Amino acid sequence: MRCIFFLLAILVYRVEAQLPRSHTGTFEYTGEVTGGDLSLMKEKARSFFNQPFLVHWDSIARIEQEGSTRVTGTGYITVRAKQHSVALPGEVPVSLQFSIEVRNGRYRYTVNRFKVERQSLAAFPLEEKPDSINSLVYDQLLQRTHKRVSYVIGYLKRYMVGKE
């Protein structure tokens, strides 16, 4: 009986994902880390995008100017989530943009421009839930995306200090 009550409570209670939003209302992760060798941080920022198991990178751009380095990659992560309310979980590609800027002994990362790339339906920005998607399925997609992006950011922080 407790099990049935617990399952009903989960289905009725709507859980919000923890994706942070920028001041414009879009999902965006940002952070700044200080300290460390500037030349080593620049090299690590350039080579971070060579990690193919983190994100499937489609393009990478590097800009060097006045003592700073900015590396921006666009690609996608695969999130294991339901695609329909009654289906088994499947791989859902979520595209994103990841930027690392190294300047004055610190680096700043930004992850934004999340977009769900689905083969069966039209693509949509992750911030805008389409009416055709069940709320529980959408919440699961948000939670799993947050978990995957948090892992990538955690890896970045370890990588930049040489603890990868």
Q: For residue 5, tell me if it sits in a domain.
A: no
Q: What is the pLDDT of residues 24-40, one digit of tens each?
A: 778 999 999 998 888 89
Q: Tell which wins on pLDDT, 58 or 82.
A: 58
CA 111, CA 154: separation in Å to the nearest integer?
13
Place of tokens 């370890």: 158
- Note whether residue 16 is domain-resident: no
Whether residue 80 contacts residue 58, with contact meaning beta carbons closer than 8 Å, is answered with no
The C-alpha torsion from 146 through 78 and 163 to 106, rounded to 10°, is -60
Q: How many structural domains compose the chain?
A: 1
Least confident stretch, 102-111, 134-143, 144-153: 134-143
Please give the C-alpha separations between residue 81 and each of 61, 87, 92, in angstroms, as whole numbers. Answer: 30, 10, 7
Contact 22/28 with Cβ under 8 angstroms? yes
What pLDDT, on the 0 to 100 scale, is given for residue 25? 76
Domain that holds residue 148: 21-160
pLDDT at 118 over 80: no
Share of residues in the chain with pLDDT > 90 (%):
52
Residue 86: what pLDDT?
60
The verdict on residue 73 lying in a domain is yes
Residue 147 located in a structural domain: yes
- Eight-class DSSP state of 37: -
Question: Nearest-CA neighbor of 54 among 27, 73, 29, 37?
Answer: 73
Residue 22: per-residue pLDDT: 67
The reply to whether the predicted model has a pTM over 0.75 is yes
Domain membership of residue 8 (yes or no) is no
| Pairing mode, strands 124-125 and 56-65 | unpaired
Residue with more model confidence, 117 or 11? 117
Within 13 Å and on the Cβ side, how many CA atoms surround 142? 23
List all residues 6 or more positions away from 77 whose beta carbon is below 8 Å from its beta carbon. 54, 55, 56, 93, 94, 96, 145, 148, 149, 152
CATH number at residue 69: 3.30.530.80
The answer to whether residue 4 sits within a structural domain is no
Domain contains 3: no
pLDDT band for position 5 (50/70/90)? very low
Residue 78 domain flag: yes
Query: Tell me: the pLDDT tens digits for 66-110?
Result: 889 999 999 999 988 776 656 677 788 999 999 999 999 899 999
